[in-house]
């Protein structure tokens, strides 16, 4: 019997988390092998590893505790990757050499995996005098463009693109340019942007007062605070960025505010971190812990939840010692504070099983109660670890107990910490769990509401036929198993039908007992008025949230996956298009048709020849393989590598046009070349242009720049009808949705944020 409750769960495991040889041969034969690999790796730091391995395995079994993807994919593999998800880099010096030292550190971090955050507020504004060189500064945004180009070039560990967060203080002189930067669809594609909003600014907004924009003690401009706030709101309303981070509240509520200052977060915002701060993540699957679901007396047993939390805390603490770190400063920071981020997933499903409507006052109260229980248990578990292994090195009992979330913690927990210390400075966080939630049987993601109760996923088979798989929410499937065809009750609500302020209520209820932060998206209807939209952010501020991320579908941001109401109580997703996703790579037919192109790079003695062969599936022509050849032996290794990698991608199907974008984005630090009146940044970019030309000629994409994964104007792919929404760059299905601050695919788990 498979442990997977749905085909999509097993496919996610196979694609994302299953350990394989470089040639694709599976090492993990079953998901039990994956659990065993993780449990063994995290038990190696224990004095009795065999004993703890069994306990860790039991926590992982049946998807009860879900380590974050980097741990699940990387633990026990002997690969040079980090098991930490989140990094904030060092403070950027306001000097050319310092800036590029930071760029190098970011590249090294992305190479091992993990999303990174940067505060660009420390770079002097555009037009400021640069002493000693008789020049004006180009400003932080120009350097953000350099970071963006670097990120597009570095492939993150596990075949994930690097994800980055850029923050800027609301009083920086370039804040208005920062707010509007991503209104250019071609700019800063690898960044999420958030404004660091201070208490003083919010007070000025409410008082309709003036606001000074300054740097290094010099006032550059004075604006009206409410005008600047409206500019942030308007950009977010129209373009879904920037987000808002209430930075003073984050620092006030930080358990370590006596020894660190935070000015940035990781890409999804759930981890505010100091310079070189790092955090690892994991989630308790609440949906797996409900007893008597959909019956009188349904609940989560206190003892079962406590036992699982204690084991999760110990496993996560061990990751600090078992993980690699890209930089020594990150290792030192992690081991000095031993930060972990334990959160939850499946919250909405658990509430449904107990008969509670997500967004209601009753659901918010139950959420707060669960979060408090988890926080109490996590802190007490960390105290027990401190007794056994010692407190975190920077622990100072009096200062720690007088800071942040510790001020509201229960007296018995505070006394235990005072007497014995605590192993981990911070313990709780609610992270994006889109992929691991699919892997766990399509439980609701994080603390988000259910997005769609069921949808049809079309899978292209090797013979060109298509099969349909129904992907059903975990709680809905349980309802069907228990109740048969009985209609879903009224309390089954989804992300689209909830009022935005109900989202805020749930975020606020969870935040009270989370000592880091929360990754959550507040879905807003397209027709929400601008004034009502602004009220969402003001409500988040008034109700104690540490930040706010919204998503309002429109012509610029793209529509979310459409939801049709086949039954008033059972919303299902309507894909509205053929999804070209292959369950297995296509076999090569005996003969294929194709074209060969000659590419002559200026100043190169030998031309490069690019052959692209196509396959016809269901009457549609699509690329199947590429051969890149050159007589220049210096080109041999990378042309063979490109041939193999691009061909492997093409044979997987889906919207493979992202290959063009990736190649065209590569720049050569030695310089590019002018070709046919255009500047081409590298020979690889030129090859990308040739492939793009071919895809246009066979009708796979509509034209230059169309069909690319980050092109907001791309609405048509070669196969299938015009979809509603964007195509996933990984599997080609039209299920991209904004979840927990990230554009995430509901079909394959791909996430923009890694």
Question: Does residue 194 contact residue 242 with C-beta atoms inside 8 Å?
Answer: yes
Tell me which residue has tokens 């504070």.
337
Q: Which residues of the chain have pLDDT under 70?
A: 1, 134, 155-162, 459-466, 558-587, 618-619, 654, 669, 705-735, 741, 747-749, 752-754
- Token pair in block for residue 593: 């048709």
- Token pair in block for residue 604: 């190169």
Cα 754 to Cα 750: distance, rounded to the nearest angstrom: 8
Q: Identify the pLDDT of residue 561.
A: 45
Indicate the pairing of strand 290-291 with strand 86-88.
unpaired
Question: Does residue 120 contact residue 163 with C-beta atoms inside 8 Å?
Answer: no
Structural domain spans, the chain: 86-252, 594-719
Report, as residue numbers or ranges, the catalytic residues. 266, 268, 270
Q: Identify the pLDDT of residue 232.
A: 98
Backbone angles phi, psi at 441, to 5 degrees: 105, 20
Within 8 A by CB and 6+ apart from 186, the residues are none
Q: What 3-state class would DSSP assign to 216?
A: coil
Nearest to 455 by CA among 750, 746, 748, 751: 746
Nearest to 375 by CA among 319, 419, 417, 322: 417
- Token pair in block for residue 369: 């109660």
Q: Identify the pLDDT of residue 514.
A: 97
Helix residue spans in 167-224 (DSSP H): 175-180, 199-207
């Amino acid at each position: 019997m498979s442990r997977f409750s749905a085909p999509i769960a097993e496919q996610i495991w196979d694609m994302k988390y299953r350990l394989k040889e470089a040639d694709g041969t599976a090492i993990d034969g079953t998901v039990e092998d994956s659990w065993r690999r993780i449990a063994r790796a995290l038990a190696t730091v224990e004095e009795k590893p065999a004993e703890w391995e069994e306990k860790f395995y039991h926590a992982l079994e049946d998807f009860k505790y879900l380590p974050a993807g980097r741990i699940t994919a990387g633990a026990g593999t002997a690969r040079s990757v980090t098991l930490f998800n989140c990094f904030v880099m060092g403070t950027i010096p306001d000097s050319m050499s310092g800036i590029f030292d930071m760029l190098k550190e970011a590249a090294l971090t992305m190479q091992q995996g993990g999303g990174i955050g940067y505060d660009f507020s420390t770079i002097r504004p555009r037009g400021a005098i640069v002493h000693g060189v008789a020049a004006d500064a180009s400003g932080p945004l120009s350097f953000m463009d350099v970071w963006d180009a670097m990120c597009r070039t570095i492939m993150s560990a596990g075949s994930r693109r690097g994800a980055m967060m850029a923050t800027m203080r609301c009083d920086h002189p370039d804040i208005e340019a920062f707010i509007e930067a991503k209104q250019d669809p071609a700019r800063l594609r690898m960044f999420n942007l958030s404004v660091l909003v201070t208490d003083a600014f919010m007070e000025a907004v409410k008082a309709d007062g003036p606001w000074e924009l300054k740097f290094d003690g010099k006032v550059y401009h004075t604006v009206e605070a409410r005008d600047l706030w409206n500019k942030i709101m308007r950009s977010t309303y129209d373009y879904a960025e920037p987000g808002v981070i209430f930075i003073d509240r984050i620092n006030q509520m930080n358990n370590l505010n006596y020894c660190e200052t935070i000015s940035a977060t990781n890409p999804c915002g759930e981890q505010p971190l100091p310079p070189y701060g790092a955090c690892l993540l994991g989630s308790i699957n609440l949906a797996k812990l409900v007893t008597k679901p959909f019956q009188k007396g349904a609940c989560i047993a206190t003892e079962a939840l406590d036992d699982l939390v204690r084991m999760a805390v110990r496993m996560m603490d061990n990751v600090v010692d078992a993980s690699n770190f890209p930089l020594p400063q990150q290792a030192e920071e992690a081991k000095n504070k031993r930060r972990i981020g334990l959160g939850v997933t499946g919250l909405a499903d658990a509430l449904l099983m107990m008969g509670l409507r997500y967004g209601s006052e009753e659901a918010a109260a139950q959420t707060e109660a669960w979060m408090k229980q988890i926080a109490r248990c996590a802190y007490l578990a960390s105290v027990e670890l401190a007794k056994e292994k010692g407190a975190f090195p920077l622990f100072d009992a009096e200062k720690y107990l007088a800071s942040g979330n510790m001020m509201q913690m229960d007296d018995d927990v505070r006394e235990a910490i005072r007497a014995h210390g605590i192993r981990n400075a911070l313990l709780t966080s609610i992270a994006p769990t889109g992929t691991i939630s699919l892997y766990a049987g399509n439980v609701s993601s994080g603390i988000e509401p259910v997005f769609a109760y069921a949808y049809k996923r079309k899978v292209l088979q090797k013979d060109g036929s298509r099969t349909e798989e129904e992907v059903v929410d975990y709680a809905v499937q349980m309802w069907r198993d228990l109740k048969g065809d009985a209609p879903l009750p009224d309390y089954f609500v989804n992300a689209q039908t909830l009022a935005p302020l109900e989202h805020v209520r749930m975020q606020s209820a969870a935040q009270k007992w989370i000592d880091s932060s929360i990754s959550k998206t507040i879905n807003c209807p397209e027709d929400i008025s601008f004034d009502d939209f602004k009220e969402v952010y003001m409500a988040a501020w008034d109700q104690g949230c540490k930040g706010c991320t919204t998503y309002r579908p429109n012509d610029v941001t793209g529509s979310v996956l459409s939801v049709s109401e086949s039954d008033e109580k059972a919303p299902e997703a309507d894909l509205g298009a053929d999804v070209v996703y292959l369950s297995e790579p296509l076999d090569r037919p005996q003969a294929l048709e194709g074209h060969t192109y000659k590419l002559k790079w200026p100043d190169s003695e030998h031309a490069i020849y690019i052959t692209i062969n196509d396959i016809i599936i269901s009457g549609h022509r699509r690329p199947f393989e590429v051969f890149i050849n050159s007589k220049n032996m210096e080109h041999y290794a990378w042309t063979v590598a490109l041939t193999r990698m691009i061909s492997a991608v093409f044979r997987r199907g889906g919207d493979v046009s992202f290959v063009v974008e990736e190649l065209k984005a590569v720049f050569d630090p030695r310089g590019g070349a002018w070709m046919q009146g255009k500047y081409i940044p590298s020979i690889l970019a030129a090859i990308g242009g040739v492939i793009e030309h071919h895809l246009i000629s066979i009708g796979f994409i509509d034209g230059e720049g169309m069909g690319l994964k980050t092109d907001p104007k791309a609405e048509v792919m070669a196969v299938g009808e015009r979809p509603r929404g964007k195509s996933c760059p990984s599997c080609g299905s039209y299920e991209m949705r904004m979840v927990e601050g990230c554009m995430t695919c509901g079909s394959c788990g791909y996430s923009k944020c890694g």
